[in-house]
Amino acid sequence: MRSSSGGRVYLVGAGPGDPELLTLRAVRLLQQADVLVYDNLVSPGVLDFAPANAERIYAGKRRNEHTMRQEQINVLLVKLAREGKRVVRLKGGDPFIFGRGGEEMQELAAKGIDFEVVPGVTAACGVASYSGIPLTHRDHAQVALFVTGHLKDGSKVELDWPALVRPSQTVVIYMGLNALPEICRQLIAHGAPASRPIAVVQHGTMASQQVLTGTLADMPHKVAAAKLSSPSLLIVGDVVTLQETLDWFRPTGAAGQDTAALPLDILTSLQP
């Protein structure tokens, strides 16, 4: 049974950073929102699509720093919907790829709240594209795997290492920068050649994007020397060797930087 309050929650993928990668559906909903509940990885340019009078609630999570626990976010979404509000729950990338969107939907469904999901460009696809790294390529990779490199207890990454070292595939690791030395060590220990290419992309799709390429053997040292920070994405596989040739994105004056020029009047006139 659904809520009779008129409230509704929209779980919206905000994409990897560049506001121009939002879907038209996402922009329409942002323009109509009463409340935004947004994560740490949602860029400010995305929030600018919402009305100035829309309430903005930050619910971001960083390493060892949670503004709200997931349980609190779930309760908040239910409360706002029961107040009759149109709630846009903004999540970086896509809500269903390491975004805990499924958990939030389960809570909304259990409480009888109307909801809708708007997919977003997930970080793996968006960041790889802006880095000039095709995730699949007939000559290099026929499989792409998405995994999370989050440290479970602060020191150990628990992944299916034998599956991740197979040849002819690309492995994209979310939230893995802090565990990079351990990830590289484990991949090599489980059979990946130390020379296997790897890229680390910081602030992908944004003006501050940086791409660092190397091998499993030397990448931890390179990242430390470059002082890269989160949010960063790791891409492992032979496709990384194409980056130098296919590197097309120039942050200064490139796509996604002139957000003031977006055709908001056209978007507003489109019928849902």
Query: Is residue 102 in some structural domain?
Result: yes
- Examine the domain organization and report whether 34 and 142 are in the same domain: no
Query: Is residue 258 in some structural domain?
Result: no
Q: What is the Cα–Cα distance from 219 to 235, expressed in whole angstroms?
A: 11
- Examine the domain organization and report whether 62 and 135 are in the same domain: no
The whole domain housing 154 covers 124-246
- Report whether 169 contacts 237 (CB < 8 A): yes
- Examine the domain organization and report whether 116 and 75 are in the same domain: yes
Residue of 18, 34, 48, 61 with catalytic role: 61
Q: CA of 106: how far to CAs of 97, 116, 176, in Å?
A: 15, 12, 27
- Examine the domain organization and report whether 153 and 233 are in the same domain: yes
Residue 1: predicted pLDDT:
38
Residue 197: predicted pLDDT:
98
Residue 265 annotated in active site = no
DSSP H or E stretch at residue 117: strand 114-118
Q: CA of 71: how far to CAs of 67, 99, 112, 230, 267, in Å?
A: 12, 14, 17, 24, 35
Residue 225: predicted pLDDT:
97
Residue 39 annotated in active site = yes
Give me the residue label for tokens 């796509």.
255
Residue of 39, 85, 91, 94 with catalytic role: 39
Q: Taking CA 256 as the corner, what is the angle to CA 255 and CA 257, rounded to the nearest 5 degrees?
A: 100
Tokens standing for residue 199: 């890229």
Residue 4: predicted pLDDT:
52
Query: Is residue 264 in some structural domain?
Result: no
Query: Is residue 257 in some structural domain?
Result: no
Q: Collapsing DSSP states into helix, strand and coil, what is residue 201?
A: strand
Name the amino acid, one letter, at 120.
Answer: G
Domain end point (choices 72, 89, 121): 121
Tokens standing for residue 194: 């130390």
Give me the residue label for tokens 């720093």.
65
Query: Is residue 220 in some structural domain?
Result: yes
pLDDT along the chain (272 residues), means of 10: 72 96 97 96 93 95 70 96 97 94 96 97 97 97 94 71 97 95 97 98 95 98 95 97 96 50 49 45
Tokens standing for residue 114: 């109307």
Residue 67: predicted pLDDT:
72
Query: Is residue 270 in some structural domain?
Result: no
Q: What is the Cα–Cα distance from 30 to 32, expressed in whole angstroms?
A: 5
Strands, sheet with 169-174, edge to edge from the N-terminal-most edge strand:
143-148, 169-174, 232-236, 197-202, 210-215
Partners of residue 171 on adjacent β-strands: 145, 236
Tokens standing for residue 6: 């008129």
Q: What is the Cα–Cα distance from 124 to 208, expressed in whole angstroms?
A: 17
Query: Is residue 266 in some structural domain?
Result: no
Report the length, in residues, of the chain: 272
pLDDT single digits (tens) 133-182: 999 999 999 999 999 987 655 557 889 999 999 999 999 999 999 999 99
Query: Is residue 55 in some structural domain?
Result: yes
Residue 151: predicted pLDDT:
60
How many other C-beta atoms can be found within 10 angstroms of the C-beta atom of residue 224? 11
- CATH number of the domain that residue 202 is part of: 3.30.950.10
- Examine the domain organization and report whether 135 and 56 are in the same domain: no
Total domains in the fold of the chain: 2
Q: What is the Cα–Cα distance from 51 to 158, expressed in whole angstroms?
A: 43
